[in-house]
A and B are shown apart, each in its own frame.
Chain A
């Protein structure tokens, strides 16, 4: 035991390299600092500004912080500032980081707009204080309400599903919006920015938690269908904590193997180490489980449908788009920087994961009757397609994956924005039968939704086609022909359930007591339009984004 006590006297070489570059390149990390700083200010606003005056400052602060960060990222990318590793080597601001940061920040703007929208649901879709709601639920009987459709009642209109907008307005002035969501979103966004730029596994773990913890809470804040929302939060939290424990054990094993958690050090150790590979590949396996969980890949997807369905739709949009980008950013960095040299030994296993993900996504997607769950399973299938790009450890694979993330994110946000418009008396009508004959009620919403679904299916002239083409050709060039064939077959099967919704909207008779289509307020309109425009532009003129993605290279 004495040796344990005397040990720390001999500080190793890593300590020296740590202190060598302690200088912080503030220009490089400014977007991250601005978002996290705005999150802290947002908490202060929450503490000191009265409830009825919080919405505008919170919204302006969030949008301004995200927009300024986005401008800084774009300026840095256009100026071609050389890539740098900063913050004592823990953050790597290189080409892929900048592309992912740009994508995340660009996706955050429509997400925040949707979250702030109060025109569809008076008082916004969120409420944090469960007391008033819990009492109303107990009176009405939790289980009965939840099975009927989960109308939990807003604090303004005491649980009775009055139905139309008029009766809700008659119950009194619209309730105040609860603004806790804004700091949560900003903290989660800051965590995502750090997650995909993390250059060592410890930073990656801390960033993973910083992005996850606010998301768990956001999932449970729904004003309507509160029980479903809370259930999704509990499931997401327990499974997420479970997965991050696996991630962490992987980090510990890799630290044991390489003596450092820096990604480049792990690559160097793997290239020439006398130690056995059990620690290296055991560590990689556990690490990948944690990452795949966040990215909702393949057999680690079980939380996805429940959380997508239960969470408030604006949160689902934010989570579906941004978490996927951040998680695949981290996966790319781990694969390319830390394990690129040993890829021949582990790629086979991940082929199986990619195939499982695609097959699970499309087969279970076929059986869904709820549109949000269908989008969730489609995201599992898309995660498989994305993994094809990640597994091609080539520059083409990297740029294809980055482009796919950008395209997929905007399409998803547009779809979920449109889903939030179709409503019946007790909130959103997400059951597929509610979409029967939607084209006669609202041709614009039906056409927009069809366009997005076609983009997910990968029809030409949409971003989905360009993205799938890029990923599959990168996979094919890197000898993944079987994987690409499975991908093509799965795309074809997936097209069936996207087209089923379109056929339903255009060729079915609408039910007489079917849902109404809310007229979106300006905020939701802007975010849906943005999603549709990017989906179209990336399909028609993808060159600029493809070039930017193709120029991105990891810095070890």
Chain B
């Protein structure tokens, strides 16, 4: 199978993640969509590593995973703290700061 298909799949996953971030209203779901975008990038990196015949892309995918894990820790703690204060994780309800 041509590696280009993996690139297309990666682009589609990235687009799904982007749309999800823009239309979903629950902070946790928005965050999951961001993770989907990061993993779409991982797929791209590995495919390009295959196309370029170098290992750099695969190593980068590991870096991205580690960074994504750190991001989960920070992100969930922030979402938890606002959930405790407001009893909701909806990003629409966080509307005190505007204009």
B48 near A238: Cβ-Cβ < 8 Å: no
Give the residues in chain B near A248, CB-CB below 8 Å: 38, 41, 64
Give the residues in chain A near B14, CB-CB below 8 Å: 245, 249
Contact of A241 among B31, B50, B63, B81 (CB under 8 A): B31
Within 8 A of B (CB), among A136-157: 137, 142, 146-147, 150
**CA A511 – CA B38 in complex, angstroms?**
52
Does A206 count as interface, using CB distance less than 8 angstroms? yes
Interface residues on chain A, size class? 35 or more
Does B52 count as interface, using CB distance less than 8 angstroms? yes
Chain B interface residue count, CB cutoff 8 Å, equals 46
Residue of B14, B53, B75, B78 with most partner-chain A CB within 10 A: B78
Within 8 A of B (CB), among A215-248: 216-217, 220, 226-228, 230-235, 237-238, 241-242, 245, 248
Q: What is the CB-to-nearest-CB distance from B35 to chain A, in angstroms, rounded to a whole number?
A: 9
Give the residues in chain A near B34, CB-CB below 8 Å: 238, 241-242, 245
Does B96 count as interface, using CB distance less than 8 angstroms? yes
Q: Say whether chain A's binding surface is mostly helix, strand, loop, or mixed.
A: helix
Q: What is the CB-to-nearest-CB distance from B50 to chain A, in angstroms, rounded to a whole number?
A: 6
Give the residues in chain B near A260, CB-CB below 8 Å: 54, 56
Does A498 count as interface, using CB distance less than 8 angstroms? no
Give the residues in chain A near B70, CB-CB below 8 Å: 209, 213
**CA A213 – CA B77 in complex, angstroms?**
11
Give the residues in chain B near A147, CB-CB below 8 Å: 96
Contact of A261 among B40, B51, B60, B75 (CB under 8 A): B60
**CA A247 – CA B93 in complex, angstroms?**
28
B57 near A255: Cβ-Cβ < 8 Å: yes
A12 near B78: Cβ-Cβ < 8 Å: no
Does A460 count as interface, using CB distance less than 8 angstroms? no
Known: A237-B78, A252-B44. Contact between A12 and B96, CB under 8 A?
no
A234 near B79: Cβ-Cβ < 8 Å: yes
Give the residues in chain B near A235, CB-CB below 8 Å: 94, 97
Does A443 count as interface, using CB distance less than 8 angstroms? no
- Find the A residue at minimum CB distance from B60: A202
Known: A7-B50, A147-B96. Contact between A227 and B85, CB under 8 A?
yes
**CA A241 – CA B37 in complex, angstroms?**
10
Give the residues in chain B near A44, CB-CB below 8 Å: none
Within 8 A of A (CB), among B6-31: 7, 14, 17, 21, 27, 30-31
**CA A233 – CA B94 in complex, angstroms?**
11
Give the residues in chain B near A242, CB-CB below 8 Å: 21, 34, 37
Give the residues in chain A near B57, CB-CB below 8 Å: 252, 255
Does A482 count as interface, using CB distance less than 8 angstroms? no
Known: A12-B53, A227-B86. Contact between A213 and B74, CB under 8 A?
yes
- Find the A residue at minimum CB distance from B59: A202
Within 8 A of B (CB), among A241-289: 241-242, 245, 248-249, 251-253, 255-256, 259-261
Known: A220-B81, A237-B75, A256-B51. Contact between A14 and B41, CB under 8 A?
no
- Find the A residue at minimum CB distance from B44: A252
- Find the A residue at minimum CB distance from B80: A130
Q: What is the CB-to-nearest-CB distance from B73 to chain A, in angstroms, rounded to a whole number?
A: 8
Q: What is the CB-to-nearest-CB distance from A546 to chain B, in angstroms, rounded to a whole number?
A: 38
- Find the B residue at minimum CB distance from A128: B81
Within 8 A of B (CB), among A278-317: 305-306, 309-310
**CA A245 – CA B39 in complex, angstroms?**
9
- Find the B residue at minimum CB distance from A213: B74
**CA A4 – CA B40 in complex, angstroms?**
19
**CA A134 – CA B84 in complex, angstroms?**
7
Within 8 A of B (CB), among A18-53: none
B94 near A234: Cβ-Cβ < 8 Å: yes
Give the residues in chain A near B37, CB-CB below 8 Å: 242, 245, 249
Q: What is the CB-to-nearest-CB distance from A237 to chain B, in angstroms, rounded to a whole number?
A: 5
Give the residues in chain B near A217, CB-CB below 8 Å: 74, 77-78
Contact of A142 among B7, B48, B85, B91 (CB under 8 A): B85
Query: Nearest 6 pairs between A and B by C-beta?
Result: A245-B37, A256-B48, A306-B97, A252-B44, A259-B52, A230-B82
Having A134-B85, A310-B97, one finds 19 other A-B pairs with CB under 8 Å, namely A130-B84, A137-B85, A202-B60, A209-B67, A217-B78, A220-B81, A230-B82, A231-B82, A231-B94, A232-B97, A234-B79, A237-B75, A238-B31, A249-B40, A251-B60, A252-B45, A256-B47, A259-B54, A309-B97
Q: Which B residues have a C-beta under 8 Å from some C-beta of A?
A: 7, 14, 17, 21, 27, 30-31, 34, 37-38, 40-41, 44-45, 47-48, 50-57, 60, 63-64, 67, 70-71, 74-75, 77-79, 81-82, 84-86, 91, 94, 96-99
